[in-house]
Amino acid sequence: MMRALAVLVLLAGGMSVASPASALENGLARTPPMGFNNWNAVRCNVNEAFMKKTADFIHTRKINGKTLQELGYSYINIDDCWALPKRAADGNLVVNKEKFPSGIDGMASYVHAQGLKLGVYADSGSRTCDKAGFPGSFGFEKIDALQWAKWKVDLMKYDNCNQPADDNFDRTVARYKAMGDALLAAEKQTGQKILYSICQKGDRGISPFPWSPEVGNIWRTTSDIRPNWARVKQLTAKNIPLHKYAKPGAFNDPDMLEIGNGELTQTEEQTQMSMWSIMASPLLIGTDLTKASEADLQILANPDAIAVNQDPLGKQGEQVSNKGGLRVLSKPLKNGDTAIALYNETDAAATISTNAAQAGLLSVARYEVTDLWTKKVTTTSGTISAKVPAHGTVLYRVRAVG
């Protein structure tokens, strides 16, 4: 149905390209990808030593008896600034060997040896987004996709800066489709699957819908996140209504986790982890893990929140009520349980309530309610309620027990 809708919308808009290829059929991202991206931690000051140190941390550092890798964090993603400013004579991108002496292929070998995966960054325009302006992939899609595949790259984030002057909706879709097709062609040639992360963000008023779910595995739904409550609140609100697009292989991406960065309180960090989990959003850590506090690591390593995020049904939680910023979201889970988030985006503590029928639970006499942060277990005949602090979220797992 979504594919038919996409075709109709594109045709109605005068689309001059064919219906997008089935990039979602690459078998990747059956649950939201988890891992790390360096941009919010070090931006353009990225290098091999930092990325290897991060991979080592995710691979070895135990938090409550488990490593972040064992909890599901697997992608080690290098953002902008890894290439030299000019392409080689044959058109290929050239790795900055001062930053990455082992090359991108060497980095891939390093993380693969740990059972992790490597991601890289590229741009759909003529230059990347950093002010230094490294080479973009517009017009070089096949060359670049094949190069990444030969390097054994596992994920590619495709940004949206320095677009052609005549860019519009049709041409945006065509640019992103061209790279999706190139990644599939490179897979056929090399066997290397690459998760396609679309970072178009709705720039210049051009919507990422309905085409992004047909072209990529994950797609940005919002502008860039910032480490402050106002932006986390804004991006959460923008992502909530998009639940119909999420499914295994295709997920809404409201940007990276800011846990450990900036001005967020522990309550606000816990809210971001809770909401990204119930919204089936990618969980990409954006802080320098070697400097993260134990409290930050405990939030990132909450196995129960992660289980909600990684539930194999691949459903994004739906909002069932919103009373002046007191929101309730409900997400069905594969084993029959339901995740419920009581989210208070306001500046004052408040009681948030729902009930079994409103949240879509089976009608039974009794429910077991587990708070996924405090681990407290209670029972109820149907009412689900909590006093939630300002900017806070209570995340429950609810089970019908009789």
State how far the alpha carbon of 76 is from the alpha carbons of 127, 239, 285, in Å: 23, 24, 10
224 is catalytic: yes
* Dmax (CA) of the chain: 72
Please give the backbone phi and psi of residue 156, each rounded to the nearest 5 degrees, phi first: -135, 120
At 155, is the secondary structure helix, strand, or coil?
strand
Amino acid at 301: A
Q: How far is CA 219 from CA 17, 195, 210, 245, 300, in A?
A: 20, 11, 11, 10, 22
SS3 162: coil
Q: How far apart are the first and last CA of the chain?
A: 37
Write down the catalytic residue from 105, 170, 224, 371: 224
> Cα 181 to chain center, whole Å?
21
Per-position DSSP letters for 368-394, written without gaps between them: EEEETTT--EEEESSEEEEEE-TT-EE
347 is catalytic: no
Say which amino acid occupies 200: Q
**How many residues in total does the chain contain?**
402
Mapped onto helix, strand or coil, the DSSP state of residue 310 is coil
CA-based torsion, 92, 93, 98, 104: positive or negative:
negative
User: Which candidate in 159, 181, 253, 337 is catalytic?
Assistant: 159
Nearest to 72 by CA among 84, 83, 82, 59: 59
Q: Burial, 163: exposed, middle or buried (Cβ in 10 Å; 0-12, 13-18, 19+)?
A: buried
Cα separation, 165 vs 2, in Å, equals 30
Q: What is the CA radius of gyration of the chain?
A: 21
Q: Which residues are catalytic?
A: 159, 224
